[in-house]
Amino acid sequence: TGGASLRTATRCKAPSASRSPSDRVEGLAPIDGWTGVAIAFKAAGYAAALLAIGGPLFLAAFPTAHADARQLARKIAVIAALIGMAVLATRFGIRAARISGMGLSGAVDPMMLGFVWNSPLGTAAIWRGVGELLIVALLIKGTIGLAAGLVGALLVALSYTFIGHSLGDPRWLLAALLTVHLLTAAFWVGALAPLRRAISLPEGASLLHRFGTVASVTVAFLVIVGLVFAWLMTGSLTELLTTAYGWTLIAKLAAVSGLMILATLNKWWLVPALASGAPEAAGHLRRSIQFEAFAVLLILIVTAVLTSITTPPVNL
């Protein structure tokens, strides 16, 4: 994250009165071929991070869940952590290529890679890499592996506070909001596959019900924290509606709203139907969770666009 914000860090915010309405539709960075590659790998990194963080959170929250569901959560988290490290390494080359303007040769240029390493992305990479290595320790079953995984999950979440839009003011508040936002989102995302597996397992309806109860609280935090963060980045309804950042954020909120509708459908209709033994409930619930996964993917892509080529109005 942070490509757009780094390019605008030294810009002074122009008084809103000096800009015409058409001028205020701004904050969009130049787009080229490497931009699309950067967005794709950033979205992949987000997905890997959320799945890696979500695994240990699921294991800690549901210690009595069926062994098959827990094993799936552990497996996905470890694979996601390994993929996350590979994506992170690739992003160094992509960033070097973009800032150098040299294309592929810039992606492997030692001087440019050193420049990227000494940037905030390098600091974030250290925290995230260590965190993902600790998450791999989930392969060690028991308290030690889970404890290492939970510490790793926190480090991965914190790594995102060293880059991107959270570098603004108030720094401590933005960092805290982003960390909570990531942890709550990861809890949800990391649970999707284990919950889908649990549908056909003994006591699966019970696990789904317990998840719905816990998620009711975490989703409230997710929404509140996200809205506060968005307000701090935009500052006003006018800026929300007249900047590239604002319109991209609206697209993200629309996707999140769709995800919330699916979650509500699951909690109040499909999970109770599964618990009552309704014959078609299992199939409907599996499809609903699949749609949730697609919604999450869309949200991550929009978020990657938001943090790659748009600048928050407060930085304009």
Measured from the Cβ of residue 275, the count of other Cβ atoms closer than 10 Å reads 14
Phi, psi of 310 (to 5 degrees): -120, 155
Query: For residues 134 and 151, is the Cβ–Cβ distance under 8 A?
Result: yes
pLDDT at 14: 42
pLDDT at 17: 43
Q: Cα-atom radius of gyration of the chain, to the nearest Å?
A: 20
The CATH number for 73's domain is 1.20.1630
Of 156, 44, 41, whose CA–CA distance to 97 is shortest? 41
Confirm whether 153 is domain-assigned: yes
- pTM over the 0.95 mark: no
Confirm whether 157 is domain-assigned: yes
Confirm whether 121 is domain-assigned: yes
Query: For residues 153 and 186, is the Cβ–Cβ distance under 8 A?
Result: yes
Give the DSSP letter of residue 269: I
What's the CA gap between 131 and 149, in Å, rounded?
A: 8
pLDDT at 209: 94
Of 185, 216, 215, 163, whose CA–CA distance to 52 is shortest? 185
pLDDT at 79: 99
What residues contact residue 16 under an 8 Å CB cut-off, 6+ apart?
A: 24, 238
Number of domains observed in the structure of the chain: 1
* Upstream peptide bond of 194 is cis (omega within 30 degrees of 0): no
pLDDT at 99: 87
Confirm whether 235 is domain-assigned: yes
Of 247, 313, 237, 308, whose CA–CA distance to 11 is shortest? 313
Confirm whether 9 is domain-assigned: no
What's the CA gap between 68 and 88, in Å, rounded?
A: 30
- The whole-number mean pLDDT for each consecutive block of 10 residues of the chain, a chain of 316 residues, reads 42 42 63 90 98 98 96 98 97 91 87 93 95 97 96 98 83 91 96 97 92 90 88 87 92 93 93 93 96 97 94 84
pLDDT at 149: 98
Confirm whether 5 is domain-assigned: no
pLDDT at 26: 75
Query: For residues 270 and 282, is the Cβ–Cβ distance under 8 A?
Result: no
What's the CA gap between 284 and 273, in Å, rounded?
A: 10
Confirm whether 175 is domain-assigned: yes
Structural domain boundaries enclosing 74 = 31-315
Confirm whether 41 is domain-assigned: yes
pLDDT at 236: 86
pLDDT at 7: 40
pLDDT at 157: 98
What's the CA gap between 184 and 52, in Å, rounded?
A: 13
